[in-house]
């Protein structure tokens, strides 16, 4: 199963990134989400209650972030196990870019299912997944539209360069060494 699409979010790129990595926002926007807990900056535990293809069950899972290039892109790896012997695994590539005073979120999701869920067939699972993604983005866009627009944070300060070029005392030392060297060769040779 594969889904590729893009959504326009009515907020700045850094705000969109922050919201997409905030467990409270995810819990609010993921359909059927019971809980999202951040275990580390790149690992989340998720509990969902969902009815997919007539199978109503709870899913416990993990989401791992890799190749993180905040606030531009990341890769997600997800796994969910249902109590009714269902399994869903997959990956998602997410890219954020600034567009039309908002943010374009482009994503490509690839997934597969096993157990009773896998027996439903790819067509049924694809429709269910598309519906979940649509509900998520509807809730997420509504959430972001209600947030005040914040200016992006200032870029990190560059460290002060070091070396001879930045210190007049260093240059004076160089001039003094040259003067001593020239004086030595002039007067003693």
pLDDT tens digits, 58-79: 889 999 999 999 999 999 999 9
Buried b (16+ CB within 10 A) or exposed e, 56-87: ebbbebebebeeeeebeebebebbbbbeeebb
Cis peptide bond upstream of 71, omega within 30: yes
Give 111-129 pLDDT, tens digit per residue: 998 888 788 888 888 888 8
43-52 and 33-40: which strand pairing? antiparallel
Q: What is the mean pLDDT of the chain?
A: 87
pTM: 0.78
At residue 170 the predicted structure's pLDDT band, cuts being 50, 70 and 90, is: low
Question: For residues 123 and 91, which has the higher predicted lDDT (pLDDT)?
Answer: 91
Most confident of 135-139, 149-153, 173-177: 135-139
């Amino acid at each position: 199963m594969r889904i590729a699409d893009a959504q326009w979010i009515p907020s700045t790129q850094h705000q969109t990134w922050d919201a997409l990595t905030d467990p409270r926002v995810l819990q609010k926007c993921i359909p059927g989400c019971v809980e999202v807990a951040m275990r580390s900056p790149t690992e989340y535990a998720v509990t969902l209650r969902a009815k997919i293809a007539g199978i109503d069950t709870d899913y416990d899972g993990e989401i791992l972030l890799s190749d993180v290039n905040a606030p531009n892109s990341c890769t997600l790896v997800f796994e969910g196990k249902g109590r009714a012997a269902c399994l869903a695994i997959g990956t998602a590539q997410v890219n954020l870019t600034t567009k039309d005073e908002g943010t374009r979120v482009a994503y490509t999701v690839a997934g597969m299912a096993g157990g009773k869920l896998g027996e439903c067939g790819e067509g049924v699972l694809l429709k269910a997944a598309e519906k979940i993604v649509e509900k998520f983005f509807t809730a997420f866009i509504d959430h972001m539209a209600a947030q005040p627009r914040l200016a992006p944070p200032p870029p990190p300060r560059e460290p002060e360069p070091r070396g001879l070029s930045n210190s007049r005392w260093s240059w004076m030392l160089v001039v003094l060494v040259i003067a001593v060297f020239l004086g030595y060769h002039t007067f003693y040779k």
